[in-house]
Amino acid sequence: MEQRNLTEDEVDLIDDDYASSRLAERQKFAIAFADAFLAAQGPPHSDTQTRIEQEFGPAELAELGIGLALFHGFSKMLIISGCEPEEMETTVLAAPGSESR
């Protein structure tokens, strides 16, 4: 598996419209995988899932999943411990079954 860092210009392309950006297809499918993983609403659309499985082998998908789980978990620990930067934008979501406040 070829490993390469993203350039700052490539990172700037990662937004809600990344699918129509000039990012490489492999990068777009990695982001689609991350979006589905972090949204926790099930797998991506079946066409996208098929392309992800064609682009990445089982070991690569495991590496992506483990990395995302670690980054997501550590970000939650940062927030719950009150260590997030003051200027960090936050969004408060009610837990399922709880009342909005």
| 26 Cα distance to chain centroid | 14
- Decide if 65 contacts 71 (C-beta within 8 A): no
- Dump the DSSP string for 84-98: S-TT------PPTTS
Please tell me the pTM assigned to this model: 0.70
Would 93 be classed as within a structural domain?
Answer: no
- Nearest CA among 79, 41, 40, 92 for reference residue 100: 92
Higher pLDDT, 57 or 2: 57
Grade residue 60 by pLDDT with cuts at 50, 70 and 90.
very high
Would 88 be classed as within a structural domain?
Answer: no
The count of domains in the chain is: 1
Would 48 be classed as within a structural domain?
Answer: yes
Residue-wise pLDDT for 40-49, tens only, equals 777 788 888 8
Would 95 be classed as within a structural domain?
Answer: no
* For residues 53-75, average pLDDT: 92
The amino acid that residue 14 corresponds to is I
Residue-wise pLDDT for 6-21, tens only, equals 888 888 888 888 888 9
Would 86 be classed as within a structural domain?
Answer: no
Domain containing residue 43:
8-80
